[in-house]
Chain A
């Protein structure tokens, strides 16, 4: 039984960074902006979290620093694409390349140093409950934030007026502008939120999942988060399913490799990507639902009609 609990907890750890980054990007894309810089913001968050935790000895300060750095980095993207109306795809790619290079430079001195792990929370009595104790009451703080985040975003987007305005901007920015909705301001805030999420996702990687710093340690998770958003047809619930599926297959293939099944390791390593995409494509079969949820003005620059 304990084996299964520990497997499930490791699945949670593998899924959490994807879930946070994808939830942030979902909000960005729902506002009609395509930010391909998730990988770059995430890796900047990871290096910020690791170095601040190293220097202060406090992983929570590290996580806060990561959120701040991710948000700051996203503002560079927002300024270029919203204020200067640069191409979103090119700017996003540049942000990823810049983030990977810059984080490598900042983190050079931290390579190989032991990290500071964010400890799991421990609530007396509850955490000591058999079976569910460690699973529900004994994980790291960022895990709980990720779950709250995905439900919070779902509630925000579909139940609040501000969420409605954000979706309207993503559907037709010119119509939203005609209604007096501040398109640029909403998009700035959405990008800021997405950046903060990507930063926190990076912090989870370098503080919880693998508490150390390795250059380029996000290893494409930012891109998977982006793909998750699209294949989840911009629905938070489906992002949750996709992220956990990816986490489960990642952990599962580790165990299969450990047992020594005669399947090429390369194939097993690629399984999480494959499985996630196949399942989400199947979920997104309903053309009508996908059409309703796709932000129609995604990636289009907005210049007010003057």
Chain B
């Protein structure tokens, strides 16, 4: 059954080699005597998963030792998620076996995985929006645990690990960052031997990520193992003592990330070098395409953040980045700018020289604006509908003349939509499994590229995007960021809301910071340091001084 693939030698010898390889690596680091005969905590042999004609996993062999932080690297669609789902019991492998502590196990369901001691923090959270934080956590436990105890333990754990959580808050009211905290706390409360983390830091501030790393090191020192899936190679190098790299469903390499460079890891992942981001800012800016004048928006429910007196100008030719910790009003700001929340005062939001505050989403788009929300599934795209329909749904009003025919009858012009979809897919290099798959069938990065391409194709004068590369792999993220910069270079105004400071520094020409519903004045990125932004996140406005 050992695959005889073209990759990296490993496959010729199979799982035992990988295990030995990693153990050698481990013992070399620990300077301990040669490999003791203890089995790996978890090992897979020849795991193969076939969906229709697609081999999502092809004879995957890898092993995680006790007390190890092990990275699983690979581009979108490399088969990481499939492998992890098999380990966690949400999917069943077509072939191959899983060994837990050296014994062959069949993980039929997530509850069985939990009983073994495997915990999982998902990238797409499996949370119940209508329930409170404590109720969500309680669902992972048996009926013998009192809700009050769970609230208490969740509160304690969350403070202990620096991930503050209000157990009585409704999940529907929380931001993505806060929801992830629930997932992490929920996982930790189950006291697992192996913790699988899928893109855990993508919504955290650098400080929050550091706290998480401290937590992870502590968990490792307690003897737990961690399977860490991330596209951030610097993190992997900092955290992990072993890495398995996947490409096209196969394991192509296993290495110690600390002995690699970010560049060498990236090229192993994608099979080629990743291009750096190229800045083309002219330094001069044009007309004001987005203007917020003392925009205030009271929150419509108790857990939301009110927007307080926000004023901002975004000019043609610049990318303004809005940094800030999750849940400080970024979602509300996006809603107010995109027209999901219409303002009473028409001049509170001005777009392309016109008052847009009283206009709805379609009217704002008709002025030349484009909006890309944070949540791809359910907000940016309808998961069940094919790409063509999603394209039409977003642009039915702004591109009425090209997509709808027969005047008032508004008959859908399938041909025009198909070719526009094709153009977007080609321009953004969207990888898909079928000709016109449902949006939900694309991986996160590919769907984001599609949504981005759908808006860029209109050549908008103003683009507002919330979390452009959340959960997107390095290659796709670089493409998306480059597209944002190119758009501004071609004379559009771009507003990027992101919790990822690296991203903000990469794309933005000037940076504003959001804290507790207020927005500082933007400051040129070149004049700012991370420390200053950290201060601004805590509510100190450096804008007035530094901007002059």
Which A residues form the contact surface with B (CB < 8 A)? 160-162, 164-165, 167-168, 171-172, 174-176, 178-181, 288, 291-296, 305-306
Contacts and interface: CB of A to CB of B under 8 A. Distances in A.
Nearest to A294: B130
Given A164-B138, A180-B110, A172 B129 contact: yes
Contacts of B111: 179-180
A288 B173 CA distance: 10
A165 B114 CA distance: 17
A179 B138 CA distance: 11
Contact of A306 (B92, B127, B128): B92
B143 A168 contact: no
Interface in B98-129: 109-112, 114, 122, 126-129
B91 A168 contact: no
A36 B423 CA distance: 46
A233 to B, nearest CB: 12
Pairs A-B, 6 closest by C-beta atoms: A180-B111, A161-B143, A175-B126, A178-B126, A171-B128, A180-B110
Contact of A175 (B128, B145, B147): B128
B90 A179 contact: no
Contacts of B114: 180
B135 interface: yes
A174 to B, nearest CB: 7
- A-side binding surface: helix, strand, loop or mixed? helix
A142 to B, nearest CB: 30
Given A164-B139, A168-B136, A306-B91, 9 more contacts: A161-B142, A162-B143, A165-B139, A175-B128, A178-B90, A178-B110, A179-B140, A180-B112, A180-B114
A164 B110 CA distance: 19
Contact of B109 (A167, A174, A180, A295): A180
Interface residues of B, number: 28
Given A162-B143, A180-B109, A292-B172, A174 B126 contact: yes
Contacts of A161: 138, 142-143, 145
A162 B139 CA distance: 9
Contact of B127 (A162, A175, A180): A175
Contacts of B128: 167-168, 171-172, 175-176
Contacts of B109: 180
A164 B131 contact: yes
B379 interface: no
Contact of B90 (A294, A295, A305): A305
B409 to A, nearest CB: 30
B31 interface: no
Contacts of B147: 164
Contact of A305 (B91, B112, B129, B139): B91
* Chain A CB within 10 Å, residue with most, of B91, B128, B140, B300: B128
B238 interface: no
A296 B130 contact: yes
Contacts of A294: 130
A87 to B, nearest CB: 16
User: Which of A172, A179, A296 has the most chain B CB atoms inside 10 A of its CB?
Assistant: A179
A110 to B, nearest CB: 45
A295 to B, nearest CB: 8
Given A178-B90, A180-B109, A180-B110, A292 B130 contact: yes
Contacts of B145: 161
A292 B139 contact: no
Contacts of B110: 178-180
Contacts of A291: 130, 172
B139 A168 contact: yes
Nearest to A288: B301
A20 B152 CA distance: 37
